[in-house]
A and B are shown apart, each in its own frame.
Chain A
């Protein structure tokens, strides 16, 4: 079973703080990793992808990957109430066609 685990939350952070979202995966052969944001009642929207160990920054978002620990995280700096959503971690499997998705972490940014 190729599992992707996320804490369901809710993770509550004050406006302006850093939100840290974590994800672990079981498929050691996975090579690419994705973060999606999903607002309530809407479909998932891709916000970041990362292929190599280390950090990748895009605006207020930073994705971090540690393949040895099978761990990927998303940091959101200067969190805004508009960042309140569910964040899905997705992992490309070593075999098969479809990404493996975690169940998501609910983030609440309070003013």
Chain B
């Protein structure tokens, strides 16, 4: 079974703090993704990575950065947390298709982040 794990299920941080969310997958997937999910807005892609040290911006990258130093690990960084970053954060991974695209994505359990 594919397993995607995230470092925390619940996290509470203060405005202005630097926040690290970590994601680890055990299936040797090429692609990894970070989403946030808010009521009524669906899943929104923040960043993704299609190889080690490779990253691309998604739809809402502002206020976030990412790091992928090893194939199995993809980190999301909130440089200076703000209250509008309170959300459910979901990591996903997938095998990559040659050239572009993805096979099915598998999600981690999510981190519910509250910024006060």
Contact = CB atoms under 8 A, between A and B. Distances in A.
Interface string B18-46: 00000000000001010000001111010
A101 B43 contact: yes
Contact of B104 (A49, A88, A96): A49
Contacts, number: 58
A93 B101 contact: yes
Interface in A12-35: 31-32, 34
A43 B107 CA distance: 6
Contacts of A34: 104-105
A17 B97 CA distance: 38
Interface residues of B, number: 25
A32 B109 CA distance: 24
Size range of the interface on A?
20 to 34
Interface string B72-97: 00000000000000000010000011
A92 interface: yes
Closest 6 CB pairs of A and B: A103-B42, A43-B107, A43-B110, A101-B43, A92-B101, A44-B107
Interface of A: 31-32, 34, 36, 42-46, 49, 88, 90, 92-99, 101-104
19 contacts: A32-B101, A34-B104, A42-B109, A43-B90, A43-B108, A43-B109, A44-B107, A45-B107, A46-B104, A49-B104, A97-B48, A97-B56, A98-B33, A98-B45, A99-B102, A101-B42, A101-B43, A103-B40, A103-B41
